Every structure is written in C-alpha cells, then in structure tokens.
Structure 1
Amino acid sequence: MDTTTGRAPATYDRIGTDYSRIRRPDPRLHALIGLALEGARTVVNVGAGAGSYEPEGVEVTAVDPSQIMLDQHPGAVKVRAGAEQLPFPDHSFDAAMAVMTVHHWPDPLGGLAEMRRVARRQVVFTWDPTHRTELWLLGEYLPEIRDLEHARFTPLHTVVDALDAHTVLPFPIPHDFTDGFQIAYWRRPELYLDATIRQASSTFAQLPPSVVEPAIARLREDLASGAWHRRHADLLERESVDYGYRLIVAG
C-alpha cells in the first residue's frame, strides 16, 4: 500500500542505504521506550524506518513513507504510508509509537491526531527546540543546523497538548550513545569527520556540501591542533548531557 506524501520519503530515500548500520538502537533508550509500551500487544510504529526501538514479543505494524527504509525493516507487516493518513480503522492498536520522526511529517498535528485515532496509547520520542543546552557543533561550526532544526521541529508543548499527554520523560544523551543521529557524538567529535556517519543524519543530508565541508574542515583543524579539546575539556568528563530529548506518553 502506498499513500505517501511530503518530504520524508525523499530525504530517507537518499540517506537510507547505510541507515541500519549506523543508526543502531541504543539499549538505554530502547529500555525506556519499552517501559512506556509495556502491556501493549499490538503496536503501530509510525515512521518506523528500519524498526529501531520496537518492543519485543508484540505484534508490530511498521508504517513508513520510504520504501528504502521499509526494505530494511525486519518485520512481517509493513505498510508504505504517511503519518497523516494511516490506513487503519479507529482503535486498531493498543499503542502507537513514533521515534524521532514527527519533525519529518508535512503535517505534524495531523499525524499526531492520527496516532490518537488508531491507538489507545501514544509514545513519542522527540526533541524540544526550546531547550537551551545546545550541541557545540551548532554554535561553533554549523549554525545552519540550528536554523534547520528550529524550523522543522514542533515545540514540545505543542506535541504534549496535541496528544493530551500525561507523562514527559527526559532522556540525557549518553557519551557512548549508539544511535548515530546528529547529537550522538557530542563527546566523540572526530566521528563528525566521517562522511558516511554524517550522511545517516537527515540534518546533514539536507545541507549542501558548500556549507558542510568548510565547517568540517575547521573542525578537523581544531581537533588536530587540540583547540576543540581545550574549549570542551569539561565535556570529556561527563557521562551524559541533557540536550532536550524527551519521551512523551499519552492515552
């Protein structure tokens, strides 16, 4: 079934090839999401991608607008569709989950309403653009990422209100976070030099090389000279940092 709309398919059709290798589910985030989904027997994963963070031992229906992403999904039930038009009857599932995907939806409020329509419980992991602790990469090298992220992420309070959520849980990002989205390498700056790693992040994938490459060249120079380590010596001793990532539970 194909009911795709919007920008997400194009983005993930470009970056999806190495996605499952670099975007490996982090066990700590997996455990947190698993607790939020505890007791559900049927789950729809909206914007499922390669199936990260789905609970074990339940019946999962994977929904994604990108065929390349669905091809990497190991599940048996996969539906190509956008979040705003979920092709299921009301209350078809015990729970609906969405992990780092709402910002890709052309109509986030419409997609969240669809999650409420088709499932009794909703679990959403997202980032709050109003959170003030910022990744050093934005301020020092790529302010263009800040502009892009603030333009596409729905404020946390808007998501909470749309879902009528009862729980919002912070998730500080561990220094050895295994899921290679943009924030993952806050204490491992050398990994941002790897073009393959950058390409698995939708943010980097949407910026032109004329913007990214000079910034990465400056980072490479600062790492070689030790300037980055001098500026961020405090980060090298931290186990995790709260960068504004939140798990929202409703229903």
Structure 2
Amino acid sequence: MDQLYDRIGTSYARGRRTDPRWMSVITESLGDAESLVNVGAGTGSYEPADRDVIAVEPSAAMIRQRPEGSPPVVRAVAERLPVRSGVVDAALAVLTVHHWADWRRGLAELRRVAPLRVVLAYDVRRHLDYWFVREYVPEIADLERRRPSAPEIAAELGAERMIPLPLPWDFTDGVFPAHWRRPEAYLDPEVRRNCSALARCDPAAAERGLRRLRADLAGGRWRRRHQDLLDQREYDAGFRLVVSRD
C-alpha cells in the first residue's frame, strides 16, 4: 500500500477533503474516547481535533501532505502497530482496510490496542453495481472482488453496529463513487488519480471506458439512462461505519 500511495497519493490533500457530514457520524461513534490511534491515517482526513491522536501511516507521500500542527505520525503498517496493547481508548480506520496486505491480521491489531474500534469500509457488492463500473470500466470489478467487504469486516470484529453512510450529491471527499451525480468529474485526470480503484485499473481499460463516457455525455445518453439519479439528493454506494466494542 505505501508504494501505491507514494505513486498516486500526491494530491490527496486537495482531492480527498473531509466532508463534515461523515465527520459528525465518525465523531459521534467515537463517543467519549479521549485517545485513539488512527490507522492508515493518510493526510489526516476524519482525524478528530479534540482527542489525543497517534497517527499511523505507511506512505511517505501521504505523510508529507499532513497539515502543519497535525498529531504525531508513525510510519508503520496496520498489521504491526507500534502501540502497546490497550494503550488507547479507540482505534480508527477510515477507508484503509481494503488496502492492507493481511486485513484480518490488521483487524486483530485494532482489537489488541483498543477496546473500541471504528472502521469505515464499504460493501463491495454495492461498488460492483455502481454505474461507472457496470457500464464503463467493468474491469474494476476484478479488483473489487478481491477486497474485504464491510459485512466481512463487521463479522471479523464482532461489530455491534454497522451504520450506513450515504453519499450526498455534493460530497466533498473524492472517494470513487462520490461523483455519482456529477459524471463529468471522471474526465478530470486529477479526480481519477485520487480514486485508487481507477488508479490501479489497467490504463487501457480505463481509457476505453472514459471514451464511452465522454461520448455518452456529449450525446445525452448518460443523462437519459440515469435521469433517476438526477432527482436524488444522496446515493447509497455501500459505505458503512463499523463499530465494535469489547
């Protein structure tokens, strides 16, 4: 994962901005936890400012983009957290588990270091049914099927809650399906660089799909096919906040 984000993550601070609507749910789920380890912390998105935070991130490119004054960060991987057992109140992991080399071992580490685990993941089935994958770049599905899904993560952690996090149409965090009602955004190379699903896809397959999308937008076909989306305020792309407590 660190090599991937050293290559594609150089503009994450611009393209993957914290959306306050998700942030409020994450903060509420952390409850009264005063200290936490943020695993796969990246550039610091969704890192609460009112807690004692230890950030863990393997990518140097991501660490360099963390704002001045951010909590201390340790360069390490989820499978080997440099944190003593039970030393923090909570472990936070936001859109990172699907990148771990051994996700079950990483989740075991979350359980080892904290009695409360708050993990933002997604249901792979919903991603596979996303119009961009289904109609334009189906090759993305080959990658997605190998990734752990939110229900699997919840079962592994023995979660007590799995909270749906829908995507508002004007979502500010450029996660892969964020542009479900703004398809023109996918024609922007920087938007694509900030989506690991696209950045890791075969370039030739991605280019074929983008040509079709460009043509469908120009000819009005996308709008006719997805008129129902244009009337929606939010979309369920399968994002789930998994909450697990001992």
Q: Distance in 2 between matches of 1:13 and 1:109?
A: 24
Rounded to whole Å, the distance in 1 between the matches of 2:151 and 2:181 is 29
- Equivalent of 2:218 in 204, 216, 224: 224
Which residue number corresponds to residue 62 of structure 2?
A: 69
Q: 1:146 matched to which residue of 2?
A: 141
State the alpha-carbon separation in 1 of the partners of residues 26 and 158 from structure 2.
Answer: 18
Q: 1:57: Cα distance to partner?
A: 1.2
Alignment map for 1:20-99 (pairs within 5 Å): 20-74=13-67, 75-99=70-94
Partner of 1:5: none
Give 1:129 shift. Answer: 1.5
Count how many residue pairs are aligned between Structure 1 and Structure 2: 243
CA drift at 1:210: 1.1
Aligned position for 1:191: 185
1:137 aligns with 2:137: no
Contact 2:128 2:144 in 1 (8 A): no
The SS at the match of 2:242 is strand
SS of residue matched to 1:96: strand
1:17 aligns with 2:15: no
Q: What one-letter code is carried by the residue in structure 2 that aligns with 1:194? A: D
CA distance in 2, matches of 1:245, 1:229: 25
CA distance in 2, matches of 1:76, 1:238: 38
Q: Does 1:177 align with 2:164?
A: no
Structure 1 segments, 4+ long, off by >4 Å, are none
In structure 2, runs of 5+ residues without a counterpart are none
Q: 1:37·1:55 contact (CA, 8 Å) conserved in 2?
A: no
Match of 2:207 among 192, 203, 213: 213
Identity of aligned residues (%): 48
Indicate the residue corresponding to 1:3 in structure 2.
Answer: none
Paired AA for residue 230 in structure 2 = L
Most deviating of 129-138 and 9-18: 129-138
Return the alpha-carbon distance in structure 2 between the equivalents of residues 239 and 133 of structure 1. 21
| CA deviation profile, 1:116-151 (whole Å, cap 9, x unmatched) | 101121000001113488210011100011221121
Q: 1:238 Cα deviation (Å)?
A: 0.3
Shift, 1:209, TM fit: 1.9
Q: Which moved more, 1:30-39 or 1:154-163?
A: 154-163
1:45-69 CA-partner distances (Å, limit 9, x unpaired): 0000001111121111110110111
Partner SS for 2:124: coil
CA distance 1:179–1:225, shift in 2 (3 Å): same
Please say if 1:238 is aligned against 2:232. Answer: yes
Q: CA distance change for structure 1 residues 66 and 133 in 2, over 3 Å: closer, same or farther?
A: closer
Of residues 218-227 and 67-76 in structure 1, the stretch that sits farther from structure 2 once superposed is: 67-76
Question: Aligned with 2:125: secondary structure?
Answer: coil
TM-score normalised by structure 2 residue count: 0.96
- Select which of 103, 108, 112 maps to 2:103: 108
